[in-house]
Chains A and B, each alone.
Chain A
Amino acid sequence: MTAKISYDEVEVGTELPARSFPVNRATLVQYAGASGDFNPIHWNEKFAREVGLPDVIAHGMFTMASAVRVVTDWAGDPGAVVEYGVRFTKPVVVPNDGTGALIEVSAKVAAKLDDDERTVRVDVTAVSAGQKVLGMSRAVVRLA
């Protein structure tokens, strides 16, 4: 593991570079194929509405994968992530309008956990259409 960020240079409150990730219907079909999650709520509008959803929604695991990119791009080595957890609080609704949705991700260092292990806790915020889509979204990262 070779994180490019030094533990000593990071402070509580340090903000990671924020990113936005577009997602459209094609993104969801591609993710369904790669992940093996073919639940029709992620590609079939009729089915999604029948089970009470406003429209097709993104896979929670796609949102989780997008959100952690802010952390892995910052750390330099995705292998530096020791823990990563989220709560799926709101769906990312993906309309079939040629544009789709946007997942806006920001993150900051919330705690320096262990000076010997050089681990920090990063709190991640993911927003789509003005609503938080992840809660308790936290990663523990081992820095250089």
Chain B
Amino acid sequence: MALDQSFVGRTYPPTAPYEVGREKIREFAEAVGDPNPVYTDPDAAKALGHQDVIAPPTFPFVITFKASGQVVLDPELGLDYGRVVHGDQKFSYTRPVRAGDRLSVTVTIEAIKSLAGNDVIDVRGEVHDESGEHVVTALMKLVARAPEGE
């Protein structure tokens, strides 16, 4: 069944701050197999002009995906998460995420479409730091595949 179009434009309350730690960044960089010292060595990061170690470009997804749970698990919207696949992902950075950041995400449903029986939903996550400055915007397209036989 097609999702309710009236959810387009809905914005959820900002999430509680996610505190970015050096060791979490290290763990993530190791998991993607990236040995760049700018992710693990504060001196290497400072040599490139950063205040502290920075996170890899796709790290913000860890935070925005968690935040988008508000949409994905919203019983009123009724998305069948078992049928959801990740369609597109895009990040626009004002600056890289860095250790010490306390980041809050504001999630908005940008679009809902029905394509060949699949529900397609665009979710925007605006990530701000503790002082309210913009850090990164994450755009995620999710596709909920139509159940078989429909």
Contacts and interface: CB of A to CB of B under 8 A. Distances in A.
Given A36-B62, A61-B58, A88-B87, A79 B96 contact: yes
B16 interface: no
A30 B30 contact: yes
A82 B49 contact: no
B54 A84 contact: no
Contacts of B90: 83-86
A106 interface: no
B1 to A, nearest CB: 20
B70 interface: no
* B contact patch SS: mixed
B92 A82 contact: yes
Contacts of A36: 62, 65-66
B38 A78 contact: yes
Contacts of B57: 65, 68, 72, 78, 81, 84
A78 B33 contact: no
A contact residues, range: 35 or more
Given A1-B48, A72-B36, A77-B48, A83 B28 contact: no
B48 A65 contact: no
Contact of A69 (B34, B47, B92): B34
Given A65-B32, A68-B58, A79 B92 contact: no
B30 A34 contact: yes
A31 B54 contact: no
Contacts of B150: none
A76 B38 CA distance: 10
A66 interface: yes
B7 interface: no
A86 B88 contact: yes
A84 B60 CA distance: 12
Closest 3 CB pairs of A and B: A85-B90, A34-B31, A65-B32
23 contacts: A1-B48, A30-B30, A30-B31, A34-B27, A36-B65, A36-B66, A61-B89, A64-B58, A66-B32, A68-B56, A69-B32, A73-B36, A76-B48, A77-B48, A78-B36, A78-B57, A81-B57, A83-B92, A84-B57, A84-B58, A85-B91, A85-B139, A86-B90
Interface of B: 27-28, 30-34, 36, 38-39, 47-50, 54, 56-58, 61-62, 65-66, 82, 85-93, 95-96, 139
